[in-house]
Amino acid sequence: MEGCSLHPETWFIYNDNSNCMQLRKLKRQQENLRAVLNPLRERDWPNRLQHERTELQKITATISEFKQKLDAITNEVRLRTEEEQELEYGIIILEEELKQLEDDVNDAILSEINE
């Protein structure tokens, strides 16, 4: 077991270089995993993940609500634009009728004068 250091929790003995190398490799992997997992545990990752999911659901609901409001406003603008166009068309028709009436009155006055 030259150069092989065993921790107290090790319950079996390695007696050749191959096993010793495997033990060192496993210990490095274990250290790497602990280096990754311990900070996650310290940060209470499952609760943070759940909190992030809850926040995502709230944001998604807010976005959906804004989309519905935007659709309603867009529809209202479309209706008001159509109404405006109808009113403008009505004004044009009335102006043409008024001009025709004025022309008819002017023609009647001229015809009375000429008679």
Amino acid 46: pLDDT = 83
Amino acid 10: pLDDT = 52
Amino acid 98: pLDDT = 97
Indicate whether 93 and 68 sit together in one domain.
yes
- Cβ atoms 4, 24 nearer than 8 A: yes
- Residue 36 above 80 pLDDT? yes
Indicate whether 86 and 69 sit together in one domain.
yes
Hey, is 24 helix, strand or coil? Answer: helix
Cα–Cα distance, 16 to 14 (Å, whole number):
6
Indicate whether 92 and 103 sit together in one domain.
yes
Quote the domain boundaries for residue 66.
Answer: 44-114
Percent of the chain's residues with pLDDT above 70? 86
Residue whose C-alpha is closest to residue 27's, from 50, 51, 5, 2: 5
pLDDT tens profile 60-103: 999 999 999 999 999 999 999 999 999 999 999 999 999 999 99
Domain count, the chain: 2
